[in-house]
A = this chain, B = another copy of it.
């Protein structure tokens, strides 16, 4: 017990990650500017027109970040304890995730512009890769649990597919932004398909 207490837990990595992720959401909200003029004119249509695309981009990113947070929880539980390696793969992930607000704001301001959509897809793609790298590091820390290993393998396959789709969304934005946006929405939706953790059976 004494020894385990001295072993660095994942507590502060999780707390720090939660902090950064909560902050990512904050910054996305800050990008939603009050449509002051439309409100002053009492124009509901104006509010929708001004706020609509930004609100759609925010809602999409909110769902994606919430999925990432859920994955983050399951990765940290799998890891069980902290090492320098885990810390830095996690920091790498948080760095790329911290660019999501920027990508979201760009996307919300110009949803029809291929460059804005491609940048959004690119950030999500790099986040997907970073998740895979973090998950691998975490799996190495807890190889004993067989159920979890199987779960991680299935999850790895799923994440690799989704990361590949995000990667595809970058060039496809220059074919049609609609295809790329459809990819974002479908990937986000796909996470709601049941995929329970072994200990939640």
Residues of chain A whose beta carbon lies under 8 Å from any beta carbon of chain B: 6-8, 12, 14-16, 18-27, 29-32, 34-36, 39-40, 42-44, 47, 59, 62-63, 66, 69-70, 73, 77, 83-84, 87-88, 91, 94-95, 98-99, 101-102, 105-106, 109-110, 113-116, 119, 192, 196-197, 199-200
Contacts and interface: CB of A to CB of B under 8 A. Distances in A.
A95 B60 CA distance: 11
How many copies of this protein are present in the complex?
Answer: 4
Contacts of A106: 34-36, 39
A26 B94 CA distance: 11
A26 B31 CA distance: 13
Contacts of A192: 88
A79 to B, nearest CB: 13
Contacts of A116: 39
Contacts of A12: 14, 18, 73
Contacts of A77: 6, 8
A200 B83 contact: yes
Given A23-B25, A102-B34, A200-B8, A16 B16 contact: no
A115 to B, nearest CB: 5
Contact of A197 (B8, B19, B31, B110): B8
